[in-house]
A = this chain, B = another copy of it.
Amino acid sequence: MNTRVTIVDVAARAGVAISSVSSALNNRPGVSEETRKRIVQAAQDLGFVPSLRGRSLSAKRAFAVGLVVHRDPYVLESDPFFGSFIGGIETVLDPRDYALILQMGSEPVETLDRYRSLAANRRVDGVFLSELGVDDPRVPLVRELGLPAIGVNAELDFPMPSVRQGHVEGIRELVAHFARLGHRRLALVTGPHEFIHAGQRRRAWSDAVTAEGLPGGEIVEGDFTYDGGVVAADRLLAGRAASERPTAVMCSNDLSAIGFMARAGELGARVPEDLSVAGFDGIQLGTYVRPTLTTIATTPRLLGLEAARMLLAAVDGERVADVDIEPARLVVRSSTGPAPVLR
């Protein structure tokens, strides 16, 4: 019973050749308006849906794109990024009848193999490259595999098209915010140096601090986790007199900022009275914790949307230009306040 209706059924019902059906349904020229109507009608009557498999073989396309996430599941757990990012991707993929193939590799090596097998049997027509590392081995790999790819928040000299959300503006706003509040002793908690976006945020921070004419301040490396924030708070606050502690800290993502705040409280630093803390990302959780977290809000959904649009264009063989979406902006909430008066 369950034999699907194919193009030959439609052709038979409309009394034409299958090539005509194909032309009619794909709006190719060379078929009269009259028969086109008849064919469309027949297709509709029979509930014809072109077989993806047939199309795929003939068109040499997979009609799918790939996203390989290489993260520890437990980091992913609290990661706001991919949910919204994927949501944005879907928005574009769906109307074009493309699908998203998701792979997860915890080990970096494993990840490379995923790309390799994705390419080997041509399961995808293109891939996203997100969470880029410095000298990321995936870049030469996809190039070698001849796989169209779009970089997400890549460096400016990235060798393939890339979509970016500016971080400079937001960070500059934050530093200005700190300066206006009278802070002089700043500190930064970075992400792991092997991620390029960690380095980007770090440089933007240093530039902004210099531009405001403030002292450089300490920089400690975190790891984008809650725990990393806790450890950073220990490094910057534990065993120090109030006068030696920084009064304003930016953490390179919200999760670590939240960990930082929690530990700061335990170490006797009240937020924001003694210490201002800000994050980066704009995750929901930041509006729930007390005090609510000042942050630089990103829009991963938009990033995904634009990335998908670009990838499909690249798959179609178009030359696609880099895109900069609306930069991440400062969102002031209650974890930042005036610098404490020194005794």
Contact = CB atoms under 8 A, between A and B. Distances in A.
A84 interface: yes
Given A2-B146, A73-B301, A77-B84, A100 B103 contact: yes
B99 A100 contact: no
B290 A101 contact: no
A289 B229 CA distance: 12
B99 A123 contact: yes
Interface residues of A, number: 55
A101 B103 CA distance: 9
A106 interface: yes
A143 interface: no
A290 B259 CA distance: 10
Interface in A59-98: 60, 62, 64, 73-74, 76-80, 83-84, 86-87, 90, 94, 97
Interface stretch (A22-30, A241-249, A280-288): A280-288
A36 to B, nearest CB: 22
Contacts of A146: 2
A104 to B, nearest CB: 5
So how many copies of this chain end up in the complex?
Answer: 2
A107 to B, nearest CB: 12
A210 interface: no
A106 B283 CA distance: 18
B288 A226 contact: yes
Nearest to A66: B99
Interface stretch (A45-53, A129-137, A194-202): A45-53
Nearest to A99: B101
Given A84-B77, A284-B78, A288-B230, A49 B120 contact: yes
Chain B CB count within 10 A is highest, among A83, A120, A285, for A83
A337 to B, nearest CB: 19
A227 interface: yes
Chain B CB count within 10 A is highest, among A79, A118, A284, for A284
B102 A100 contact: yes
Contacts of A50: 121
A104 B121 contact: no
Contacts of A84: 73, 77
Given A52-B121, A56-B53, A226-B288, A77 B80 contact: yes
Contacts of A288: 226-227, 230, 259, 262
7 contacts: A52-B62, A52-B121, A78-B78, A78-B285, A83-B104, A100-B101, A102-B102
